[in-house]
Structure 1
């Protein structure tokens, strides 16, 4: 054990990450050999054997990472509470699916009908689903019904090992390595130490705003790296199967958590970033929380309910609540501004010009870059004194822009009045 710790510590220092983070990364990459063993030895075996394999692999990964329990500190810890967050969503979804199974068919939506459970799963099924090794530590989420179909061989046949998932699995692995390199390079220029240091504080305001945005963008690459690695192992083991396309080809995007092209070309937070980033969790929240809050009678109340749930689910650090507050005010402002702009005929006509369209793309790309920093900042640093320090150093520019919308909205509406009815 001492030799292992020494090797891990040396490797962690060499790549510039902590030892717990390195162990987590190795555990996620272990998903690939686990998937290969499943494909070559376990697939087609009786369900009990398959469940036992999933349980054993998942528990071994958990023990390797954490071994014992200890509580979180004031930083973003990699401890046993992290997979417990994943399991909270997984088992909450399972409870909802079982509850829906007690309802008549005509009371269920089309989405609910796809995942509803009419019978309580066995204890072995529950444990295999809970500790599924390629998604146990950091996700992604999938319903119990999908796990049952996977174990039962309903995707391709009980004894069939698909070969068309090798290429997409390797592609996601390679993309994960690429984004790991981007994160490492970016973090060397825009590090946490720089952000909290005197050098950053001495920069001109525009440079502080730009650097905060770039720092936030490279922080997100860390999440993207992990998600790509996990997605690749889920594809390789087979749980990422998502039906067939119009050409009859298998789709392997059932565990996707990021749309890379949309993320890199995002023009806003309301639709682009939300659609491109953390897809799996966002979809889970949509199905199990947002749609079930429709009795509130207001989409903003439902959205606020989702964000409060997300904050509580993450933990009690103030950074979680500030992060999701920033998401709420940014989405609200963008939605209302979009409505105003779409109603102005003159504005829409000007955007048809090719030059104006290109200028718009550049402006909105810069907007998403520099505003991502203050949005992700509290989630990354968690503690009040840390995110407050950086916000104060940049004069709360995102809060003023998004939160101040309620004050300057009347002026925008006056400058961009709705188009006139042609009959008038």
Structure 2
């Protein structure tokens, strides 16, 4: 009876603010992390590791149970079977392969049995976070048994000399600040955090709650700002408008800018959630990341969005560097760099994006979106070199007028084409994104694919005349 009352109460609030009940429950669950962080920092931080592990497991699991009910058994199954694989096969390449195949297959089975034509807040949402976490754990354990001189600095930093206990791994998985929507962080960071060594011993008194609270409050307030911008913007330009006759019959330029505005607003809901979780992780103290050059504490270890870079993006690589940063960093370290044996950055990037698309699910929109990303990044890399070699162009760009003109052109370029690139991932259904693509005449494919082909013939013209080198050089 109490559960029914809570459900109707949440449903009433959700209807009032114009959201669905599952989304509101998710937001409330994220905010439950704040009082949990207060409890941990005041009574458990620096105390028994076992007590901390149990606290994280219980709070994270119950939080998930409130959202997904008995479907939480799926995460428990994946956790236990992955631990058995690592325990049985040890720190071997086979462990990595089995862990990856099992967890990805389990996740895809979940997508297959639960997905609909739209985004659903189901048990597969925290499961996809868990998949990367467990795959990363298997690789960190493997790296801990390798020749340390052959590892990268990052691999040395996160490698594990011994397999953590099931209790430690479970607490790592169900950590309440990141279980539902991320961010990703390594098992080593979690162990150092609970051991009390993430923050140097002589600084412990300085990093008590007030020191991290300022950064946490800032992230949370920014989260509310972006959530408000999403609510306002999505009401002004809803997805349904893009599928309407009014949009189809609009001026072409207007359609491009409306599509870009819609995409940016849609991204704001993700940014808001990540800012909230960043605030929670910072309140816990998990995001401590050493000191900056001025000796100030850095609390960006769980940062998932760089707002300055995102809002001032003038190339698509800025979006990649600033949006969903921890997942992108995970893919760079655990997929892209480990494919260097292919001998081709092009191939490594392609397979990394293919992994990301599969990890997201079966909807065609995921695959089209990541193809768009691959296409645009290829174009930008292809054209950057010739443009930098054009001395006359570079002289103009470095003038005050040139800097302003360049910034405006690139800002419009990224704003407009972000809408085109992101559209399939947001609407998922090919009927929807094809209908919208038709109304803008597939302009993104004409521009990028056409430019890639055309560049094969006009690169010398773009490069312009360069000052010849002397024989002495």
- Give the shorter-chain TM-score range: over 0.9
* Distance in 1 (alpha carbons) for counterparts of 2:271 and 2:210: 26
What is the Cα deviation at residue 412 of structure 1?
3.9
**1:389 Cα deviation (Å)?**
1.0
1:32 is aligned to 34
TM-aligned CA deviation for residue 327 of structure 1: 0.3
Deviation at residue 374 of structure 1 after TM alignment: 1.3
Q: Does 1:130 align with 2:176?
A: no
Report if the CA contact (8 A) 2:30-2:177 is conserved: yes
Q: Structure 2 regions of 5+ residues with no counterpart? A: 72-112
Distance (whole Å) between structure 1 residues aligned to residue 310 and residue 402 of structure 2: 22
The residue that corresponds to 1:209 in the other structure is: 256
Q: How far 1:91 sits from its partner (Å)? A: 0.5
- For 1:158-237, list aligned pairs within 5 A: 161-237=208-284
The aligned runs of 1:236-385 (5 Å cut-off) are: 236-270=283-317, 272-385=318-431
Q: Which residue of 2 aligns with 1:107?
A: 150
**Equivalent-residue separation in structure 1 for 2:451 and 2:245 (angstroms):** 32
SS at match of 1:336: helix
Structure 1 runs not aligned, ≥5 long: none
TM alignment of 1:44-123, pairs within 5 A? 44-69=46-71, 71-123=114-166
Measured after TM superposition, the shift of residue 164 of structure 1 is: 1.1
Give the deviation of 1:300 after TM superposition.
1.0
Partners of 1:51 and 1:191 lie apart in 2 by: 43
CA–CA separation in structure 2 for the residues paired with 1:376 and 1:2:
38
1: CA distance between counterparts of 2:125 and 2:271?
17
Task: Decide which structure has greater helix share.
Answer: 2
2:336 is paired with a residue whose SS is helix
Are the aligned partners of 1:169 and 1:235 in contact in 2 as well (CA < 8 Å)? yes
1:393 to 439, 450, 465: 439
Match of 2:104 in 1: none
Q: Distance in 2 between matches of 1:417 and 1:375?
A: 28
> Which position in structure 2 is the counterpart of 1:139?
182
Which stretch shifts more, 359-368 or 402-411? 402-411
Q: Is the 8 A contact 2:382 2:452 kept in 1?
A: no
Deviation at 1:156, TM superposition (A): 4.3
Q: TM-score, normalised by structure 2?
A: 0.87
Alignment root-mean-square deviation, CA: 1.5
Q: What is the rounded CA distance, in whole Å, between the counterparts of 1:348 and 1:210 in structure 2?
A: 28
C-alpha distance in 1 between matches for 2:417 and 2:58: 44
Tell me, in whole angstroms, the C-alpha distance in 1 between the residues paired with 2:428 and 2:12: 28
Cα distance in 2 for residues equivalent to 1:335 and 1:372: 17
Structure 1 residue 410, shift from structure 2 partner: 3.5
DSSP 3-state at the match of 2:211: coil
Tell me, in whole angstroms, the C-alpha distance in 1 between the residues paired with 2:303 and 2:196. 21
Distance 1:206 1:256 in 2: 35
Structure 1 Cα separation of the partners of residues 424 and 412 of structure 2 = 21
Matched residues in 2 for 1:389 and 1:247: separation? 53
- 8 Å CA contact retained: 2:27, 2:273: yes
Number of aligned pairs?
A: 423
Q: CA deviation at 1:248?
A: 2.5
| CA–CA distance in structure 2, aligned partners of residues 421 and 124 of structure 1 | 66
Local SS of the residue matching 1:165: helix
The structural deviation recorded for 1:113 is 0.6
Greater alpha carbon shift after TM alignment, 361-370 vs 155-164: 155-164
- CA–CA separation in structure 2 for the residues paired with 1:273 and 1:205: 25
Contact 1:156 1:162 in 2 (8 A): no
Q: In the alignment, what sits opposite 1:415?
A: 461
8 Å CA contact 2:331–2:352 kept in 1: the answer is: yes
- Residue pair 2:158, 2:186 contacting (<8 A) in 1 also: yes
Q: Aligned partners of 1:226 and 1:194: how far apart in 2?
A: 25
- Indicate the larger mover: 285-294 or 156-165: 156-165
Q: Distance in 1 between matches of 2:63 and 2:422?
A: 29
| CA–CA separation in structure 2 for the residues paired with 1:72 and 1:157 | 47
